[in-house]
C-alpha cells in the first residue's frame, strides 16, 4: 500500500531535475517555475484573503466552534472507517484542493466532508516483515490490531506465506473488528468502491473473518 506513496514521492522529487536536464526544456526559469504555479484565478472575490486579520478571525471562529461543541461522554454510537490504497496525506490534500477549485475557490480553504466530522483520526501501519505493506497484512493490522506478514490475511505474524497448514490452525487466526461487532449483534455496513470486487486484500480480510 505504501509503495504507491513512495513512487509518487520519488516522481515529484526527481521530475524537476529531469526537466531541467532535458534539451527541450527551454528557459531554465520556465522549467522550474512550472512546478510552482501561482494560485488559479477564482471567480469569487476574496478581498481579505491575504490580510493578517483574515487569518486571525478565521482561527478565532474555528476555536469558538470547537469550544462550543457539546462533549459526548457516552460510548460511540457509530464508527466510520475510510480505508483506501494510496490514501496518503498528500493524496487527501490534493483531493481537497481539487474540490475547492471545482467549487470556484482557491482550493486550500475547502474541506472534504469527512474532515468536518466532530471527531476524526488518522491511522498508519506496516507489515511484520516489510515496511512496504500490501492490502492484506495492512487490513489485518487495521481491523484486528495485530501486524502480520506480507501477503497473509487474518493470521498471526508467526504464520509465513505459503504455510497453509498454519493458516488453517484456528489458534493462529485472529478476529477482526467486524467479527467482534457481529458477536455483539451490531449492524455492519460496508461500501466497496473498488469496482465491486471482494478480491482485494482489504475486503477478503473482512469476509474471511465474518463468514
End-to-end CA distance of the chain: 25
61 carries a ligand binding annotation: no
Residue identified by cell 467486524 is 178
Per the structure block, which three cell numbers stand in for 105? 475557490
CA distances, 35 to each of 11, 19, 160, 206 (Å) = 12, 10, 44, 41
Helix-then-strand count for the chain, H and E:
8, 0
| Measured distance CA(195)–CA(197) in Å, rounded | 5
Known active-site residue 158: no
Residue 148 CB neighbour total at 10 angstroms? 27
**Active-site residue, from 12, 58, 130, 135:** 135
| Measured distance CA(19)–CA(83) in Å, rounded | 35
Binding residues for Mg(2+): 85
Catalytic machinery residues = 135
Binding residues for Zn(2+): 85
Binding residues: 85
Amino acid at each position: 500500500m505504501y509503495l504507491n506513496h513512495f513512487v509518487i514521492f520519488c516522481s515529484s522529487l526527481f521530475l524537476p531535475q529531469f526537466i531541467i536536464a532535458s534539451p527541450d526544456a527551454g528557459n531554465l526559469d520556465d522549467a522550474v517555475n512550472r512546478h510552482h504555479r501561482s494560485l488559479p484565478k477564482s471567480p469569487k472575490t476574496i478581498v481579505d484573503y491575504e490580510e493578517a486579520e483574515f487569518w486571525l478571525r478565521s482561527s478565532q471562529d474555528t476555536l469558538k466552534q470547537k469550544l462550543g461543541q457539546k462533549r459526548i461522554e457516552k460510548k460511540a454510537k457509530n464508527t466510520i472507517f475510510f480505508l483506501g490504497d494510496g490514501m496518503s496525506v498528500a493524496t487527501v490534500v490534493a483531493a481537497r484542493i481539487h474540490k475547492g477549485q471545482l467549487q470556484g475557490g482557491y482550493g486550500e480553504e475547502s474541506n472534504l466532508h469527512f474532515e468536518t466530522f466532530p471527531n476524526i483520526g488518522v491511522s498508519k501501519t506496516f507489515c511484520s516483515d516489510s515496511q512496504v505493506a500490501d492490502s492484506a497484512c495492512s487490513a489485518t493490522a487495521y481491523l484486528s490490531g495485530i501486524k502480520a506478514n506480507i501477503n497473509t490475511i487474518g493470521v498471526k505474524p508467526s504464520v509465513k506465506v505459503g504455510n497453509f497448514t498454519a493458516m488453517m490452525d484456528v489458534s493462529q487466526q485472529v478476529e477482526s473488528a467486524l467479527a467482534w461487532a457481529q458477536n455483539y449483534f451490531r449492524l455492519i455496513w460496508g461500501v466497496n468502491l473498488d469496482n465491486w470486487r471482494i478480491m482485494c486484500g482489504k475486503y477478503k480480510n473482512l469476509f474471511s473473518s465474518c463468514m
